[in-house]
Chain A
Amino acid sequence: MSQINFDLQASHCIISILEKSKIIAENLYRDLPDFYLIIQSDGMVLKGNNIAAKIFNCDSELLLGLQLQNLFKPESWNVFKSKIDTVLNNPDKSVDFELILGTDPEREIIYYWNLRVTRQQSDKTAPMVSVIGRDITELRRHEKKLMEMFACMPIGLITLDKDGVIENPYSAYSEYLLAQSHLAGNNLFSVLFRHCCGLSESEKEGMHNLLKFYRMQFSTYELIEDTFPKKIKFRYESDSKIIERHFGLTYQPIVFENEVRRLMVLIEDRTALVQLEEDSHRRRVLEDKHIQRIVQLKTCDNEILPDIVSEIQSLVGLCRNLIQSRELQDLANKLHGVKGNARLGEFKNLVDLAHSLEKGVLNGSILESDLTKYFGELEKEWSELLGLYNALFAGGSSNIVLPRKNSYLVFCKRIEKQVELTAYRLSKKVRVEFSGHGQDLPEELYSEIGEVCLHLVNNAIDHGIEPSDERKKLGKLETGLIRIYLEPREHGVFVTLSDDGRGLSPERIKNSAIKKHMIKEGETLSDETLYALIFQPQFSTAEHVNEVSGRGIGLNAAKKLVEAKQGWIKAESLLESPGAQFSFFISESLQESGRRAA
């Protein structure tokens, strides 16, 4: 018996110790702040803690046999029962869900439930399910409040899940910015980046990197974040409207255990800012142009400036009339004149505008309907220049063009300046000499003579006078020479302009004329007839067109100017010395002639 007693005593000791430990553990769950029950599959309560007893309104030791079903509305209990079945079918997995506890519609409490099968030794007893419920009513109330605040924020704020899909909630303002509704569930690419324009290659790459953020180590994320598009232009077309906005994008990763689990994207509307920047840039450009114009006017030779301004003013007016009458060839001639005078004044913007307009008129790239618009830009530039000119030199009066100083001296300076500029532009060395009786010419003819001479000078430098190295090989002086001889005659002026260049080549003129179908191949023409061809519109022997000549404008313009003054012009090759010579005669009007005689 003593052995039996010893065994019993030992068993009792073991049971007592184990039971003490277990009672301590059970006291812990009794005081758990969460709802805790062990139930059977039919919802009968086997055991529970103090919180559960409080909800059942009984002592925790009297929970046995109560029905959990009594705490739910019938429809909620059906959900709960289905969850019990789910967890019983998958005993290794727990089930989490939210469900309202309570049967009173006025006082519903939201619980977050966790169900799992209780591990038990016996398979004779029905399976038991442990139920843990946490009251999240307050949490949901705060979440709702936060969501309301979140939705009302006047910035675009969206979060992306692991697939780059927009999650709920997002700020309502996002829908306004992106001009799309129901953003949740859509990919960021489809609602935002698909409608972006002007993304650089690196930004496109960054856009693809962006969609790979999920589970990326934070350190790696930091490296690629720099490539994400930060400033984008958004253009969204719907059936009825086109929306263009500029967005600034900021990315905020949501990191858990050093891995990026979500990505918050902040969309800021920068449209007004960008417009402001663009306006500011435009203003800066205008100011720069303004300053540039002042510098141009200030650095221009005071002697020839009034002459240039007066000439351009006159030509711009003529151009306006020619546009209205659609006389395009004449228009090109006048624009050529504007360009030449603008170059003389070194008005770069005006030169560029006149050049592109002239080019467009000649090759037909500018439609007639657009002529007024493009010419408007030229007029505007000229108007700005003229206004500044008047402000600087005419005491601020914007409508007065200072009287030109029609004199032999101004004429010579204009030609010298033109020679200097054209030679510099074509990388040639050229000088000009004047002879004859230029100082005795009627004042009003200097303008016309000067205009014709400008075209002839350009032509001589570009086509006649060779580059310095070529001249040296030919045994010529390195610096080319242009001679201008002026002689007053009865009722007009006779002018010759000769150069020591390569002269006129009847063969080249003939070939060029054949190519342009101006003469037939094999047709025999005198040199004089051939030389007359070079004054035809758009005739040129140049193989390449440059900014100075090559389009067949200059000589035609000169001819038109001369003919407008009842004069004539001709070209010839010099026999006694190398080079070409142009001679022209301009008539003085009868009125002027009479006035001068008186």
Chain B
Amino acid sequence: MHFDFQNMNSYQLDVLREVSNIGAGNAATALSKMVKRRVDMGVPTIKLLEFSEVGAILGDEEKIVAGVIVPVAGSMNGVLLLILEYKDTSNLVELLTGKKFSDFEAFDELALSAIRETGNILAGAYMSALAGLTSLSVKCMFPDVSIDMAAAILSIPAIGFGMMADKVLYIDSDFAEGTDNVKAKMFLVLEADSFEILLRALGAIS
């Protein structure tokens, strides 16, 4: 039978949620080690979105956020996108570098590099958990950071994988440092065919 990620059954959705939970759990542990604090994680949610809905995932489309995009390539193709609002970004940078910044525009190369590296480490932890569970080979590519309007950043993964279908699936994971000083969101967006490869490797497609 032809697999369509826009019409997954409840078992397949459960499997996807569980595998994301393990990936995000590994990323939360990695973040905890980086900031040397406890990091809590919410249960990942699966969002099957119309393209027109993507820009408003965080509410305000024009809110300025920091986004780190990490392309994923190999047996599966996609991107991981880490998103932080200003207060969280600034607290994270301070935890990592000891430097305080008054606003996004004040961030220097060191701050941007700390944000980029956080995305890199979290994405690596997330994908290595997925690779371990599935025995699929996936590689995280070089990360890049952008500070801009939420909708402009959130749209990039959708555009990359918008060719094949009328909807796009974002797997949304939330992280919060123990005292809520740093909250972050991570989205996994895969190419349409990669969902089938992932679910097949996990035995959720017969």
Do A and B bind?
Answer: no
Residues of B within 8 A of A (CB): none
Residues of A within 8 A of B (CB): none
